[in-house]
Copies of this chain bind each other. A is one copy, B any other.
């Protein structure tokens, strides 16, 4: 073993300490809140009176988070909203208030605990693109080093003209974006058990987002300065790229809006490392290149990488490549000094 490498985890979530009455001031039927158990260590996210998911204190308590980061050897975490907080289905003005409040909270109540080790990615009211552009710029001025967005807003994918306006705004303002899958209602309602929306729905959602962006020709129009990263290693995209490239070559409808095969655009985006299998990480690096993979854990959720960084650290990449994936790529992508 050599000297410890710097470790930056660029995909980690938080949730605010928010009582039901406080959440109800936004949209009682949609805004999530937190019930903390008497032990102070475990809790439940709820929407209205409906339990959404059990969670533990690293999600809301920066002291607990830093303690775990110390134990795991994580130097820095980029923290963003749990997707249940996106609020895209709320009225636009409610979503604006909510996003402002959450972005303020994340800086003031989470990152402030240790601003050198906890960095913030903001959230925006994507159902109102003007408001989203204003909020992402405001958040940057507060200290957010990027933005997290959901991979779609209702039936609008990232290639929707409004969403492209937002992406171009972020490119022009040098605000990096993390795209997170959410709202996995698809596949005919057949993902009812065994967390299938997380196992099947999320990677398919991300795959759909990347391909929609590519096959719509959007990368031809977006500034090259756009920095956009997809969670969970980009979902199924990399593995199914051969299928997409073959289809582009063989089928006129696949290539009708896109002048190059999908693989041509792999240098226009990054992915995180949350693929949970050294062979999958090696495959992913073969498609995306090591320089486009950043450590992301999905912490502190149970289906994330519990032992943050262990997949990269235990891999057979060179020390140089590991250092790139563990921290250097994220420093460059998010302009971290």
Closest to A242 in B: B277
0 or 1 for each of A164-191: is its CB under 8 Å from B? (1 = yes): 0000000000000000000101111111
> What residues of chain B lie closer than 8 Å to A207, measured between beta carbons?
200, 203-204, 236
Q: Determine the residue in chain B with the shortest Cβ distance to A189.
A: B155
Bound CA–CA A145/B7 (angstroms): 55
Does A253 lie within 8 Å of B157, measured CB to CB? no
A199 touches B232 (CB 8 A): no
Among the listed B188, B191, B275, which residue makes an inter-chain contact with A243, where contact means beta carbons less than 8 Å apart?
B275
Copies of this chain, tallied across the complex: 2
Is A224 interfacial (CB 8 A cutoff)? no
Residues of B within 8 A of A187 (CB): 186-187, 204-205, 208
Contact among B186, B190, B246, B276 for A246, CB-based, below 8 A: B276
Contact A196 B212 (CB under 8 A): yes
CA distance A207 to B203 in the complex (A): 10
State whether A152 and B190 are in contact (beta carbons under 8 Å apart), knowing that A236-B240, A246-B276, A303-B247 are contacts in the complex: yes
* A52 CB within 8 Å of chain B: no
Name the interface residues of A245-259: CB closer than 8 Å to any CB of B: 245-247, 250-251, 253-254, 256-258
Query: Are B195 and A243 neighbours in the complex by a CB distance under 8 Å?
Result: no
Q: What are 11 contact pairs spanning A and B, CB under 8 A? A: A155-B188, A186-B186, A186-B188, A191-B208, A195-B251, A199-B243, A203-B236, A238-B239, A242-B280, A243-B275, A243-B277
Known: A157-B190, A204-B207; 5 extra A-B contacts, CB below 8 A, are A154-B188, A155-B188, A194-B256, A200-B204, A238-B239
